[in-house]
Structure 1
């Protein structure tokens, strides 16, 4: 009996030891798996951080000027407010024909003439035009001028960036509008006449500043939308060059030289006649005074006839 009880206790003790050993092993495996999970999480996080640190490298390269293939400027660079003005001098075969062609181009590119004038004299004809062209078609319009001209001796384009000024105006406008709203609120709450008059005066100044800012912004918007082209047209016959003059015949050059000499003589005679005509009243006045004096002196110094000898009776 005692032996059986002893065996049972030994079996229970062994069973308990087995359960304890298996429980410790399971806990160790869980700790190892948890540690591995934490290690994987740390590795993954470190990889993400390294990738985030390496990501700005292309942007830094682009900022340094090393732009990849197919680089497109950002929207902020494309939307800058630029005002373009150009000056062009063209030599043309016919002033009238070129004006018609320019009118057709203005219709095509939706531009308009701001001012125009023509001048003719000494065998020359010149035309002056100031045109306004939408900025989107400005460069294409400039390229069309090559087709109309015999030669373009002068061509210049200037650009002015007004983005900073426009942003500053926008900020000032918002600030003034906020002041206007507060003044209107104070005006509604004012109960004294003096306060109402003072608020009205301040409100008038603020509204005047708002209108001035809006006017400047409208001016900038208009000049950004439309570029200005100052165009000078010269007929080709009025722009003879040294090479063309050298090709003329000797007789033609001699004839032109003689004409120039004759014109110089005529100009001299005309000038002399004009000077004499201007001095004629003075000469007449001098003659009225000088002629009587001259006659008097001549009469006084006139030699007397010799006395006749006495006759003998």
Structure 2
């Protein structure tokens, strides 16, 4: 009987010694979990709205920047100025209109001036980027004599990329603020978030407007075209007779004389003041001699 009891006690002691380390490990894991929960519970929340948003800023900004830089193609704005001397303004204008139709271009602004010396037709033309060089060559060949031509290119890829990246980031911030507005619990937080949303929306509108402007200038180049016809008469080229030229010269001389006469009359205050000053000077000099 004693041997049975002793064997039973030995088995119990062996089982206790085997289960001891496992129970200690379980208790240690439980203590660690409780301590971690306490630490996480004691971490203070972000003190401002900007800190809540800055948590994901680095990852989102970097990914957007790389994506935008890879997808945006080169943006080049082309502009030009041309001055062409023609023999007939109306005929030249008709030729210009035909060339514009062939190249899908249009006139944005038109200004005509007619003086005694010459006629000037100034046109602001918008043409698709791919047809810009073709249009320039067409005007140079068949419209008239080119007096001046100036072509310039402006690469705005860097500006366009920078605005696009900032715009994408602002839209992400706007979505975050809208989500925060739904979860706001106090009036103060709601007003603060709404103010930030309003500012972001204004900045997004400005950025989108700038991008639209750049796209328009890139897709459609601008050409300032001036058609010029000289009306100066010369004895070698003019078909007008001697009598008409004599009358024109006499009229021009008379106009010059009238302009000179009117200019002299405009100086009448000096003609009154100068004699008066001379009179006072002589009178003062005479008194000085008498003394």
* TM-score scaled by length of structure 1: 0.56
Of 186-195 and 253-262, deviating more is: 253-262
The one of 229, 234, 249 aligned to 1:235: 229
Aligned partners of 1:270, 1:222: CA distance in 2, in Å?
51
Report the counterpart of residue 134 of structure 1 in structure 2: 128
Partner in structure 2 of residue 193 of structure 1: 187
Q: Decide whether the 8 Å contact of 1:92 with 1:148 is kept in 2.
A: no
Counterpart position of 1:263: 252
* Structure 2 residue ranges without an equivalent (≥5): 1-69, 273-291
CA distance in 1, matches of 2:197, 2:262: 72
**Contact in 1 for aligned 2:119/2:230 (Cα 8 Å):** no
What secondary structure does 1:80 align onto?
A: coil
2:261 counterpart SS class? helix
Matched, 1:104 2:122: no
Give the match for residue 173 of structure 1.
167
Query: Separation in 2 of the partners of 1:257 and 1:162?
Result: 59
Q: Conserved in 2, the CA contact under 8 Å of 1:130 and 1:230?
A: yes
Offset from partner CA, 1:169-217 (integer Å, 9 cap, x none): 1110111011101100100100111111110000000011011100000
Give the 3 Å change call, closer, same or farther, for CA 141–100 of structure 1 in structure 2: same
Give the SS at the match of 2:74: coil
Matches within 5 A, 1:37-76: none
140, 143, 166: which is aligned to 1:146? 140
Contact persistence 2:122–2:227 (CA under 8 A): yes
Secondary structure of 1:217 counterpart: helix
Aligned match of 2:261 in 241, 252, 272?
272
Q: Displacement, 1:122? A: 1.2
TM-score with structure 2 length normalisation?
Answer: 0.60
How far apart in 2 are the matches of 1:202 and 1:225? Answer: 34
Structure 1: runs of 5+ lacking an equivalent? 1-75, 239-243, 284-313
Q: Structure 2: how far apart are the matches of 1:148 and 1:121?
A: 25
Q: Structure 1 residue 264: deviation in Å? A: 2.1
Question: 1:176 & 1:262 partners in 2: Cα distance?
Answer: 71
Larger radius of gyration: 1
Residue 119 (str. 1) matches residue 113 (str. 2): yes
